[in-house]
């Protein structure tokens, strides 16, 4: 028996070897991951800058956690999605997994450092062994931009601020229209209770409801009854509610609903949303909010309000048909257009997560939102596809008009670097002048210094304004001062 175990162990290791030796070497990134080229980095950084500016505008500080955690930290936090967690190989030592989101590590951080109150943002990559659909902006390695408010507060004040943060960001990215769907876990729990779902099945049925954004009710109902063993009449009762959506009017209707109003949990959730809509009005985001009873969110740890932001404009569809046909599929296949063009942010309240990590189970109430940038970047990259975009910031190019001026060019570069002027030159010892000037024009470098033997003997250099091709002679000794002055004047 001992030997059979060992053989099994070996077989397990053997399988890697087979795969390794059978496949030829393929030059690619891992499935579901991508490189960012310099142009994509410029677009990404511009988006990050706007996102971070908004987070700072709301008083958040930032922190960073490792890319992997002890596997135990992640275990039992993600419900059915736990199967998507990437584990590290057991190479001796600790058992580790790649982070699945930024929320659980944040909760671990709060418990570990006994932080009872913080407003923090974090941008970082997270990892999910999902079936990637990269043309739809769904990756295995992707960025999340998180904003969370932790600590005791009066009800709903931070919850509505999270929605405000999302709408500010989506507006600042100029992504056309969006809505934020909201729901409340207590309403869902109350609904399940009122429809006679046993307590132990709440999370499982909740997972089924969560699929309504991708599947029709009939399929979801089938999953509830066939896979999860819910009585068909109970499923039908649920069906009468979860397809409804509205605003505070729907809240009022449900508060008066004879069945729901019997559930204490439902009443609490509905009262909370009532307050939410009042504050949303004050924060100027009410028109962006839709109370959608089918919104459930897959993750286990939510305890109160839950959000999901979707882009709603179908303008993109027509805009991108012209250019790249696959872009149509992003938006048409992914979701019914009037239902929005795919989730772009999500979040909610999770009041019990920190307590799971605290040795004394001390709770720190938290609410937060996570913005996914992959779909946003797909839109931005496509929108700016024909735009000229500088990927370097070089201000001055030091060129030679003749041979044997390498050392002189090097001296000038060193001088300009000393003055913190962004400067480049050719890496050839004797480059041709035309090629050097072409580099300036192609790269959008605004100024070129052109040196020649006779000019150097006279103690001057030529300064060329690349866009206008105007040239002037400058005293060599005053070169950096003149450049500093010109660069300050024209903020290039």
Strands 178-184 and 289-292: parallel
- How many alpha carbons fall within 13 Å on the CB side of residue 16? 5
Q: Which of residues 347-406 bind its own copies (CB under 8 A)?
A: 357, 359, 391-394, 406
Q: Which stretch binds its own copies (CB under 8 A): 35-43, 211-219, 262-270, 379-387?
A: 35-43
User: Two tokens at 361?
Assistant: 């189970």
Pick the closest to residue 225 from 254, 260, 245, 195 (CA basis): 195
Closer residue to its own copies in complex, CB, 168/189: 168
By CB under 8 A, tell whether 174 contacts its own copies.
no
Point out which span in 2-10, 200-208, 378-386, 467-475 binds its own copies (CB under 8 A).
Answer: 2-10
Check binding of 283 to its own copies (CB under 8 A).
yes
| Residue 56 near its own copies by CB under 8 A | yes
**89 lines the binding site for its own copies (CB under 8 A):** yes
Q: Which long-range contacts (CB under 8 A, 24 or more apart) does 334-339 make?
A: 334/136, 335/213, 335/214, 335/310, 338/312, 338/314, 339/213, 339/310
Q: How far apart are CA 187 and CA 271, in angstroms?
A: 10
CB of 18 to its own copies, least distance (A): 11
- Would you state the structure tokens that stand for residue 460, as one six-digit string? 């001057």
Contact 32, 140 (CB under 8 A): yes
φ/ψ region of 261 (left if φ > 0, alpha if ψ in -120 to 50, else beta) reads alpha
> Which among 55-63, 204-212, 221-229, 461-469 is the span making contact with its own copies, rule CB under 8 A?
55-63
**Can you tell me which of 49, 53, 219, 459 binds its own copies, judged by CB under 8 A?**
53
Chosen residue from 196, 198, 232, 284 binding its own copies by CB under 8 A: 284
* Residue 18 binds its own copies, judged by CB under 8 A: no
Grouping H, G, I as helix, E, B as strand and the rest as coil, residue 463 is: strand
Query: Of 46, 48, 65, 202, which lies in the binding site for its own copies, with binding defined by CB under 8 A?
Result: 65
Q: Is 3 in the site for its own copies (CB under 8 A)?
A: yes
- Does residue 21 touch its own copies according to CB under 8 A? no
Q: Are 371 and 205 in contact (CB under 8 A)?
A: no
Q: Would you say 205 or 445 has its CB closer to its own copies?
A: 445
Q: Does residue 137 belong to the site contacting its own copies (CB under 8 A)?
A: no
- Looking at residues 204 to 233 of the shown chain, list those that interact with its own copies (rule: CB under 8 A): none
Is residue 144 near its own copies by the rule CB under 8 A? no
Q: How far is the CB of 100 from its own copies (least distance, A)?
A: 14
Reference 317, options 328, 325, 307, 308; nearest CA is 328
């Amino acid at each position: 028996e001992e030997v059979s175990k060992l053989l099994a162990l070996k077989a397990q290791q053997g399988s890697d070897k087979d795969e390794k030796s059978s496949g030829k070497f393929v030059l690619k990134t891992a499935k579901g991951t991508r490189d960012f080229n310099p142009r994509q980095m410029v677009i990404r950084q511009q988006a990050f800058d706007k996102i971070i500016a908004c987070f700072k505008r709301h008083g958040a500080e930032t922190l960073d956690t490792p890319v992997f955690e002890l596997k135990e930290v992640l275990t039992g936090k993600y419900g059915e999605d736990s199967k998507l967690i990437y584990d590290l190989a057991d190479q001796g030592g600790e058992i580790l997994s790649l982070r699945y989101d930024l929320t659980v590590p944040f909760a671990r951080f709060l418990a570990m450092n006994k932080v009872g109150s913080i407003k923090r943002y974090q941008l970082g990559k997270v990892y999910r062994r999902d079936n990637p659909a990269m043309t739809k902006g769904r990756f295995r390695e992707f960025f999340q931009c998180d904003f969370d408010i932790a600590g005791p507060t009066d009800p709903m004040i931070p919850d509505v601020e999270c929605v405000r943060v999302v709408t500010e960001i989506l507006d600042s990215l100029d992504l056309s229209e969006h809505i934020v769907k909201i729901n409340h876990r207590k309403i869902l729990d109350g609904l399940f209770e009122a429809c006679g779902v046993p307590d132990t099945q709440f999370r499982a049925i909740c997972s089924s409801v969560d699929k309504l954004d991708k599947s029709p009710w009939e399929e979801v109902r089938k999953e509830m009854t066939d896979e999860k063993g819910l009585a068909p009449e109970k499923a039908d009762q649920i069906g009468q509610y979860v397809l409804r959506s509205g605003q505070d009017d729907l809240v009022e209707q449900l508060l008066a609903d004879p069945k729901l109003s019997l559930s204490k949990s439902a009443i609490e959730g509905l009262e909370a949303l009532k307050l939410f809509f009042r504050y949303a009005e004050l924060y100027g985001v009410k028109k962006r909010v839709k109370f959608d009873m089918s919104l459930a969110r897959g993750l286990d740890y939510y305890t109160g309000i839950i959000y999901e932001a979707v882009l709603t404009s179908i303008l993109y569809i027509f805009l991108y048909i012209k250019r790249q046909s696959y872009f149509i599929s992003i938006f048409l296949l992914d979701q019914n257009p009037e239902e929005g063009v795919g989730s772009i942010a999500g979040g909610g309240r999770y009041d019990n997560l920190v307590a799971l990590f605290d040795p004394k189970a001390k709770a720190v109430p938290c609410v937060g939102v996570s913005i996914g940038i992959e779909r946003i970047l797909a839109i931005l990259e496509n929108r700016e596809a024909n735009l000229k975009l500088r990927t370097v910031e070089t201000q001055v190019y030091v060129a030679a008009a003749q041979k044997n001026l390498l050392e002189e060019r090097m001296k000038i570069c060193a001088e300009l670097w000393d003055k913190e002027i962004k400067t480049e030159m050719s890496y050839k010892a004797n480059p041709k002048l035309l090629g050097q000037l072409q580099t300036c024009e192609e790269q959008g470098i605004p100024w070129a210094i052109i040196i020649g033997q006779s000019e150097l003997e006279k103690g001057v250099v030529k300064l060329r304004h690349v866009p206008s091709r105007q040239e002037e002679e400058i005293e060599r000794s005053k070169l950096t001062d003149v450049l500093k002055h010109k660069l300050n004047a024209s903020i290039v």
